[in-house]
Each structure stands twice: as structure tokens, then as C-alpha cells.
Amino acid sequence: MCFLIALSGASGVIYGIEAIKYILSFTEIELHCIISEAAKDILTQELHFTSLKEALGDLAKSPKLKIHSNKNFFSEVASGSFHFNAMIISLCSANTLSLLSSHYINADDGCCLNFG
């Protein structure tokens, strides 16, 4: 199974990190992760880590995990042809939820909502 997790800028990025750890504990998993600039700031301010890779420790080296830049519009997850089973937005702020519900969403979310 293939999962996509998006770490947004809502306070509580630790929940996303714990979700990544939990998902990677399963054997037949491929996990793609995108972290927003705001989430990187929260990671530094709340958890005192300089990067997601530092927060994940050895799990960041897992072949089951791919971390994508939120600025790379050419990454495989930005394509409408990228297939995944589920998407998690952690922590979904009220702002992110309103953007999703009003259909003002980016390509990754849109593909999941339209084809998921």
C-alpha cells in the first residue's frame, strides 16, 4: 500500500511524526511525505529539531519512506498520475480544512479527493 502524508503548519507536528513512525512499522508500506515551510518552523520551535530527518532518526533512512520537497512541482507525488491508497494531512488546521472544503486545493490533495 502507498500512503501520502502532508505535514501542515498547524501546531502539533509531533502527531504527524508519530503517524509516520506508526505507518512505517507495517511491512508492505510505501510512504511519501511532504512537509510545509510552516511545519518546518513548528518542528523547530516546538520540538527543537532542525529537520524532519533529524526528528525521525534512523527511520528517515528507511527505504519505505520518501521525503519530498513542498517546492518541487516535478516530484512524482505532484503528478496526477501518481497512485496512492490514502492521504493524511497532519495536523489539519482550520485554514487547511477550509481550503479543502472550498475546493481551493493543490494538485496532491485534489488528486486524492478526485481519484481516491
Domain extent for 62: 2-115
Instruction: Render pLDDT for 28-79 as a digit per residue (tens, 0 to 9).
Output: 999 999 998 888 998 999 899 999 999 999 999 999 999 998 888 888 888 7
**What b/e string do you get for 40-57 counting C-beta neighbours within 10 Å, with b at 16 or more?**
bebbeeeeebeebeebbe
Measured distance CA(2)–CA(86) in Å, rounded: 7
What confidence score (pLDDT) does residue 90 get?
A: 85
Helix pair 13-24, 37-47: axis angle to 10 deg: 100
Measured distance CA(73)–CA(31) in Å, rounded: 18
What confidence score (pLDDT) does residue 92 get?
A: 75
The pTM for the full model equals 0.81
Residue 93: give its domain's CATH number. Answer: 3.40.50.1950
Nearest to 55 by CA among 8, 16, 92: 16
- What's the total number of domains in the chain? 1
